[in-house]
Structures are given as structure tokens and as C-alpha cells.
Amino acid sequence: MRRAIALSLVLFTILFACSRPNATSETTSANAGQPVKGDWAVVRLEAEPETLNPLTSTSAVAHFVLWGANNSQIYELLLGYNPDDQWSVTKPLLAEAPPTISDDHLTYTVKIRDGVRWHDGQPFTPEDVLFTFKAAACPLADTAQLRSDMTDIADIQVDGHSVRFLMSKANVYNYIAVVNSLAIIPKHVFDPEGLLDTFSYKDMIGPKGKTDPKIKKFAEQFNNHPAGRMPVGTGPYKFEKWDSGRDVVLARNDDYWGKKGYLDKIDYRIIVDYTAALAALKSGEIDLQPRLLPIQYNQQTSGQAFEQQFTKTKYEYPAAGWLIWNNERPFFKDKRVRQALTMLIDRQKIIDTIRQGFGRMGASILNPQSKYFDRDLKPLPYDPKRAGELLDAAGWIDHDGDGIRDKDGVKFKFEFLGSMGSTTYKQLFPVLAEEFRKNGIEITDRVIESALLQKTVKEHQFDAFSIVPVSDLDQQQYQVFHSSSAQSGSNWSNFKNAECDKLLEQIRLEFDDAKRKDLYWKLQELIADEQPVTILYYGNEPAAYSKRFQDVRWLPMRPGYDVTSWWVPLSQQKYKGTAAPKG
């Protein structure tokens, strides 16, 4: 779904990266007392979810609502992130413990938690786990983004209270595919007719999965199931309503099997425009604006009245600013050219001006919070003189004196693709154009809608574009940089390098953590040298929230916050009972 290797195509709007894997606490009152129930949290959501079906949804905002930062909100996954173990995926949720793994790494056995009930009162069973994986594997369901994470799962079997996952080959990331890739969904809701009952998981991934009439009928129903508007999960908050264009409201599940939330309700208020979102915060319509624009943080959220009501903060978020070069284009085939382009960009100036200080220079493709992140890797310097020398050495010279470099009769002119509505892209492009123009490179820009841009990028019909890839702590890079992923994965840069492929394949097969770390360091060094992408920066996310909330913590997993653990002292509670906040 999103945990193993997901890259969200959020195209240079607001998302940035991180540094260390620590949660930060900002409890607002030292004398607040013990946590109590009550009140609401009204949280700004920057877009409307396309669906709340966790297996067909591809939008980040839907995921924030469905399972949040801790894999547990409406729906739950088998395991969550463990803050006591470097945020490893070992915290029991719907599984009682991490899976038992056979010596050959081909069998993963998960014991399923007993005594859990769905929000409609029906019991949760191991059959729900099997069904979830069968639905995700269905080739006729709108779940293609999930199936790439499940390619090594050969079969799944239920044995009492346990579910056994059988692998076709060993792969260190099969652990993530089992416990941290799918939110578990209710079989009785999504398949009340039992259309998939007679099919094994092996059947779903075999020829029957594409041809059997019952599976076809299931897929047609599943892709447009009403539960996409009214989800039924097992988590600490249950779905209450979705008012299109306005909000999605969740209510505390007082029958939750685990630690219950404190807030009565969580109201995700859909406000796309940033100016409108800030106005809503200042007026008290919302309580949390998790992503302020830098200019809003620095210039529009000060003064006594604001500071009395709200806390401003900067928190870490698992994303970074990248420029992606299509390595198949003649301009970008030579790594010396790619190195030169990076050295022509004053990345610190971009951080200081466009980002207004929200960021730091970056060199590695890995999430800075990953335990495999190479902190000694240095970014290429801003050095136009050296960049010019590299371009000359690569044969890109202004042969005809028109001010534009050329090679073999081809002018160094290329198009930069941008996302419509991206304020950062509008600021970034002129900076890049000026830097490149001064060094004999001409670029034009083409701005298109995000949906069309995603299609264009996947088809490699571009020269260069900007992206903010959002990665998780348990990330791998196979789909991003392996040559086989250029056509069917997320290798949008068309980067094809035999040494890189070998390292990525070795990383998948290396179960010794120390040896895998060594391989990851070699991979980071290779990518830093080859520069198939330019890392502009890692950054921090600016936010503001009401001071009445206690035990506010910022987490190293997206979306970076978990309001299910926040609470408000009785004397400061704003919303009583079930009355909906106005707005």
C-alpha cells in the first residue's frame, strides 16, 4: 500500500524531509494533570480523499484519515512502529507479535489477536487477514499500487488463529509486505456473498484471477464498494460521516480492544487553500494546521493574540526535494552533465529564500531517519566554474557562439515539467532558468495538472521535473533506481546502472543487518556520484495548533502527528458532547 517502497507523487508543494528518528514532545502545560476524555480536534486536511477504501486509495490524505502515523485509526495493520526500538515495525496491533520466520526465510507465521471486533460488532478473524490479501492481489481490482509489494508471496494459509505466508523466494522486505503493507479490511462487509471463498490466494495470483466470473464480479463490486464512503475498521476511532467538500468526522471507539483515545471526535476539515486554512486557524474554526507555508510561519503567525491561543512548531517529515532528470535524454546520459547541473544550483540559497530557512542540504536518497542513512555523505558544492569544466569535458560546448551549449548538432535546450497550483515550483523555476542560462543551458517550462503530470512522468514523456518523494522508515530503493523498474515501477529517472542493480538485488537478499547497512552505504555513494536525481534539500514542516491540547508529540512517520493520543483538560475543553464545530 505505501509502507515498503511507496513514493508519493506530491509535486513540489509543501512536503520536506527529516533528520533523526525521535518523537518530540510539546506538552503545553506542566500542571495539566492526568489525561481525561472529552473535546474534539479539528484538523486541516489539505485535499479531499478520493475514497476511504484502504486498498484502492492512493492519496496521502486518505491514508492520514484511515490509519494515521501509528497504523491504527479507523483501520489497523498487523504491526505498528515501536518507539522503544528505533521505530522498528514490531509493535503488536492486529497481530499478537512479530511473525515467526523459518530459517530459510520462506515462511512467515503470524498469530492473529483474539477478542477484537469490527466497528459494526462483528468479530475480527484470521479469515479477514486472508481475505484482505486476496482482495489486494486480485488482478481485476484497482489495487495495482499494492501488488508490486506482494510479488514474492506465493500462498497464504489460515491455521487456527495463525496465518501462514509462503514466499516464492527469500527477500528481506517480505517482512514488510506481510505486516506493514495492508490495512486489514472486513470480509463480511466487502464480500458478503462469499465470492472469493472458494479461491485460494494462489488462485488469485494465477490464471483464474483474471478470468473467473466470480472474481470478475467481486472486483467490479469492490472497486466501487459503498464502504469506500463508510469504512468499517477495528481501530480506536470509527467513521461517523463524510460531508464531501467539507469534512470527514471520526468518533472515539469506546469498545476498542487496546488503549482508547481521549478525544470524543476528530474532525478532518477539508481546506485546500493555504490562506483560507490560516484564516480558519486564527478564527478558531480549526485547531491544527499541520502544514503552514514558510511565509505564514515566519510572517503571518505572530503577535500577542495568536501566541496566547496557539503553539507554533517545526517538526520532521519523511520527504525531500528532488529534481529528476530523464537519463535517457541526450542531455542527461553522461553523469558529468548531471553532476554539473547539481553544481549549478545554489541549493542553500533556495533553502534560505524560497524555503525561508526550512531545510538543509542533502546528498543521500534515503530518509535521513533510516538506520542505513550515511551521515558522512557530503552534497556536491555550488560551483559554477567546476560545472562548466565538466560540461566542456562532456562535449557540451558553445560551438557556434550563440550563447547555448551544443553537442553533435543538438542544442542544450530542455523542458522542465511543473505541477499546476504548486507555489514552490513557480518560485523555483525562475531560479533554475537563470542559473542555467548563465552557463549556456536554456530551459523552458510546461505546467500541467497533477493527474496528467503523473501519467506523463510514468510514461517518461519528460526531460526533467521536480518532486517531493515521501518515504517511510522501512524503505527500500529497488523500484526507484533498479533498471527493471523503469517501465513498471517508480524509476522515473530512467536510471540504468549494472552496479546499482547488483547492490539493490544484494540488499534484498542480505538478512544480516550490519552487512545490509554496508551495502546501503555503497548504494548511497554510487547514487551521489552518478546524480540521476538532484537532492535539493531535506527540511522541516512548520505547523501551529491550539494550546489547549496536551501530550502533543511529533512523530517521524507521516503525517507526523497522532491526535488519537492528544487530550484536553476539562477546564479548557471547547466542544462539549456531540455538537459539531461550526465552520
- The three cell numbers of residue 65 are 484519515
The vertex-227 CA angle with 223 and 233, nearest 5°, equals 125
pLDDT at 283: 96
Among 155-159, 514-518, 536-540, 565-569, the range scoring the smallest mean pLDDT is 536-540
Contact (CB, 8 A) for 396 and 337:
yes
Which amino acid is it at 330?
Answer: P
Contact (CB, 8 A) for 420 and 272:
no
Among 217-226, 301-310, 551-560, 566-575, the range scoring the smallest mean pLDDT is 551-560
What average pLDDT does this structure show over 338-358? 94
Classified by CATH at the fold level, domain 50-228 comes out as Dipeptide-binding Protein; domain 1 (3.90.76)
Are both 237-315+541-572 and 317-539 of the same fold? no
Task: State yes or no: pLDDT of 227 exceeds 50.
Answer: yes
Cα first-last separation, the chain = 33
Closest CA to 296 of 308, 280, 318: 280
Q: What is d(CA 22, CA 316) in angstroms, rounded to the nearest whole number?
A: 9
The vertex-153 CA angle with 152 and 154, nearest 5°, equals 105
Give the pLDDT confidence of 412-462 residue by residue, as tens digits: 999 999 887 677 788 899 999 999 999 999 999 999 887 788 788 888 999
Q: What is d(CA 513, CA 172) in angstroms, rounded to the nearest whole number?
A: 10
Buried b (16+ CB within 10 A) or exposed e, 295-321: ebbeeebeeeeeeebbebbbbbbbbbb
Give the pLDDT confidence of 507-519 residue by residue, as tens digits: 999 999 999 999 9
Closest CA to 535 of 345, 280, 352: 345
Q: What is d(CA 381, CA 389) in angstroms, rounded to the nearest whole number?
A: 14
Task: State yes or no: pLDDT of 575 exceeds 90.
Answer: yes
The DSSP symbol for 146 reads H
Task: State yes or no: pLDDT of 530 exceeds 50.
Answer: yes
Helix count (H) and strand count (E) of the chain? 20, 20
| Domain residue spans of the chain | 50-228, 237-315+541-572, 317-539
Closest CA to 189 of 227, 218, 224, 152: 227
Sheet holding 413-419, edge to edge: 237-243, 247-252, 265-270, 40-45, 288-289, 533-546, 310-325, 464-467, 413-419, 442-448
What average pLDDT does this structure show over 239-252? 97
pLDDT at 16: 32
What residues pair up with 315 in beta bridges, in sequence order?
A: 541
pLDDT at 474: 59
Q: What is d(CA 230, CA 239) in angstroms, rounded to the nearest whole number?
A: 7
What residues pair up with 288 in beta bridges, in sequence order?
A: 43, 545
Q: What is d(CA 343, CA 322) in angstroms, rounded to the nearest whole number?
A: 14
Closest CA to 285 of 303, 267, 312: 267
Burial class (CB in 10 A: 0-12, 13-18, 19+), 275: exposed
What is the pLDDT confidence band of residue 9, given thresholds at 50, 70 and 90? very low
What average pLDDT does this structure show over 22-35? 65
Among 149-153, 545-549, 561-565, the range scoring the smallest mean pLDDT is 149-153
For domain 237-315+541-572, give the CATH number: 3.40.190.10
Task: Say how many C-beta atoms besides its own lie within 10 A of residue 157's C-beta.
Answer: 16
Q: What is d(CA 475, CA 488) in angstroms, rounded to the nearest whole number?
A: 18
CATH superfamily ID and name for 317-539? Dipeptide-binding Protein; Domain 3 (3.10.105.10)
What average pLDDT does this structure show over 48-68? 93
What average pLDDT does this structure show over 78-92? 92
Q: What is d(CA 28, CA 544) in angstroms, rounded to the nearest whole number?
A: 13
Which amino acid is it at 400?
Answer: D
Task: State yes or no: pLDDT of 206 exceeds 60.
Answer: yes
Q: pTM here?
A: 0.85
E strand spans, 245-376: 247-252, 265-270, 288-289, 310-325
pLDDT at 323: 95
What is the pLDDT confidence band of residue 85, given thresholds at 50, 70 and 90? confident
